Structure 1
Amino acid sequence: MKIVIAPDSFKESLAADQVAKAIKSGFMAVFPNAEYHLLPIADGGEGTVQALAGSSNSRIETISVTGPLGEPVKAKIAFSNDGKKAFIEMAEACGLHLVPGNLRNPLHTTSYGVGELIVYAMDRGAAELIIGVGGSATNDGGMGMASALGYQFFDVSGELLRGRGEDVFDAESMSVISRDKRLDQTKITIAADVENPLTGKNGATYVYGPQKGLLGSSLADMDRAMGEFYKMASSHLGKEVADLPGSGAGGGMGAGLLLFAGAQLKKGVELVLEHLNVKDICRDADMVIVGEGKIDGQTLFGKAPAGVAACAPPTSKVIAICGSVGEGSEVLYDHGFDAIFPTIPALLPFKDIMGGAYANVERTARNVAALLRKE
C-alpha cells in the first residue's frame, strides 16, 4: 500500500514537516508495512521556503532584517546550489506569528524586511527570486518592501514616510530616484496563496485585515486609502495592478511586487507542487493525506490541500486532517475529497490546543487509519 502524506502547516502550532511526521506516526500504528512518502507542502505562505528549498537541495541562510514592528528579527532565505536562484518567504520577515496577539494591528506593521531580503539576495548574485507572500501581519500594500528597495514615499508636507500600514493613508507622492536598478535584471516570481484583488469586499483589507488585528470600523477607510495609494503609485509608474487576481495577497504584497519590482505572479501551490513533483509521486498512490490548520470553503481557492487533491488519481482515497472545519467545507467533496477530519478534541484554552497539536494530529491519524482498515 502506498500512502502519500502531503500536508500544509497548521498555522502558529506545527510546521508542515511536523504535521507529516505526526500523521505518519498515527498511520504506522495501523499500517506498519505501508510505503510512505512525506511531502510537506506550502502554498505561498509560511513553509514555502522550506518546501521549495527541500526540493532542490538548496542551502538555507539566516540573516537579520527589520521585523513587522520595526525590531530586528531572524529570517531564513534559501539559495540554489549555484547561487543564481533565491527562495524568499514574506512570513519570515513580517509573519503574523512574529507579532504577539495583543500587539496585532496592521496599521503599525511594515513589510520593510521583505525588501531587505530581496536586496540581500541580489547582493549575493541571485538573478531569479521566488517569493511566497502569505501569512503576513501587514496590510501596507508592499510600501515597506518598496521603501527598502529605494522607492521613497512622501506625505502632503513632503515628509518621508516609513512604510507602515498607517502610512498608506498619508502617501501623496513618490520618487524612484533611489530605486535599486538591479531589479531590471532580476526575474521575480510571486508565489501567492490567494486570488484576492487588492481592494474591495474581496480584497486584502476586508478579507484578511480582521485576522491581523484591524478593527471592523477601520476596514472601509483602510481599503479606500489602499486604493488611493495605488492610484498615485500606478499613475507615477504607468502600470495598473490593483485588479489582478492575487494582488491582494500578503496585505497587498502581491500588488507591491507586481508594481514596484516588476514581478510575475503564479499560484503558490502550483509552484510548490511542480517543484516537488507531487503529481508523479501521487500517480499510483492508494491514499493521499492532506491537511492544514483550518479547512473551509476557501480551501478550494489556491490552498495546498485542494492542489494536492487534484494530483491524486481517481482510484485513491483523499483524506484531509485539519485543526478545525469551517463554513463551506462541504464543497470539497465535489472536488476529490473523500473525508475531512478535525483534530481538536475538546473545548480547551487556545494555548492548550496549540501546545497539543502534534498529539492531536497523531491521534486523529491513527483513528482514521483504523477506520480505513475496516474497509
Structure 2
Amino acid sequence: MNKTLAVLLGVSGLGNAVLGYLLYQLDRKTAVLLKELRAVVAPAQATPVPIVVKSPPSPRPQLPPQPEPAPQPITAALPPPKPEPALATEPMLSGAVAAGLPVEQDAAADTVMDGADLGSLCIRAVSQRGPRNRADHRHRRDSYLLHAFREFPRPVLLSAVAAGNPVGSRSQEGAVLVCRSLATHLGALAAPLAGAVGDSSSPAPDSAATGDLILTALRGAAGNLDRLAARHQVGTDDIAVEIAVLLSPLGGLRHRRHLLFTVGSGGLRTLRDGVWQDDDSPAASAWSAATTLPSALSTLRWRVLDTAPGDVLTLGTGATLRLFAHPATADALAAAWHPAVPGLHCYLHDTVTAVPGDADRTLITLWHTPSTH
C-alpha cells in the first residue's frame, strides 16, 4: 500500500512538472502572438478615420417677382382686304356656283349629268342652269333624257334634249314631260321604225313612212303638253318646249345609222377627224314660241345619218349650239373630245368653263369608238 502510494506520488510529481512546462511554453507563444498582433493593429489605430458631417443645403435665394412684359404693337403691314366682286354686266362664264335657290313651283336642280360607256358607243350628258338665271334666282328650264329601248330588234338608245320657254311658268315641267312622252310613243312605234336605226349597210328606210311615224310620236307628246297646261290652268306658252331627239343603235356595230329629228332650234354637230362638220341643223337663233311644241308640229325636221369609228355627235338645244359659233369655244371642245373620251367630271368641266353665255345649256355627246378606248 505504501509502495503504491509512493509510486502515485512520484507520478503525480512528474505530472505536475510536465504540466508546468506546458503552461510555460503556452505562455511564451501567447506572448509572441500578442506582440505580433499589437504590431499589426497599432499602425491602423494610429491613423484616425475622419468623420464627415454633411450640413443641410442652404436655401436658394428668392428673387423678387418680375412684372410680365407689356405686349408690343404689331408693326408688320397686313395685306389689303380683297375687293368685293363687282356685279357682272357682261355675259358670264358658266363656272360659278349658284348663290341662291330658285323658288318657282317646278324648280329643278341647278346641274344634272349622266353618262355610260356601252362598248363602242360612249355617252355623256349634262344640263346646267345658265349664269343669268342663277343671278336672278330663276330655275333651269332645260331637260334631257337617256333611255334604252328593248322594243326594237336590237337595243336602241334615245337621246333627247328639251328647252322650255325661258319665262314659262311650267316650262321646265313641260321639258321633262315631252322627253318622257316621246320615249313612250317611240317605243310603241319601234317595229316600223327599226329600218331607220341600225347598221348603215342596211337598205335606206322609206322617207315618207319614217316622217309619218315621227309625227305620230310628236302628236302624242304634244297632247300630253296640252293636258299639262289644262291641269295647271296656264297658256300653251307657259309649257312650250323645243325638242331634239337622236335614236342610235347599240351593240358592236362598226357603222351605225342614226335617226335625228327636231322641233325648234336644237340640233346636232358632228366632230370628224378633229374638225366640226357643217351639219344641216337649223341656223342658230333665239328661242321662239313659234317653233315649239305643242303647236308647231309643222316645223319638224328629220334626217338619217351614218357614223364610223372616231366620229363624235353632239346633240344640243338651240342656245347650246349657238356656242359653237365661237371659234375659240369650238376649237377647245374639239381638242378636249378627240380622240380620247373624257370622263364625266372632265366633260362637265369642258361644258362649264369653256362655254360663255347667259342661257341654260344642255347637250348630249356620243363617241363612236373602237371596242376599246
Q: TM-score, normalised by structure 2?
A: 0.26
> In terms of Rg, which structure is larger?
2
Q: TM-score, normalised by structure 1?
A: 0.26
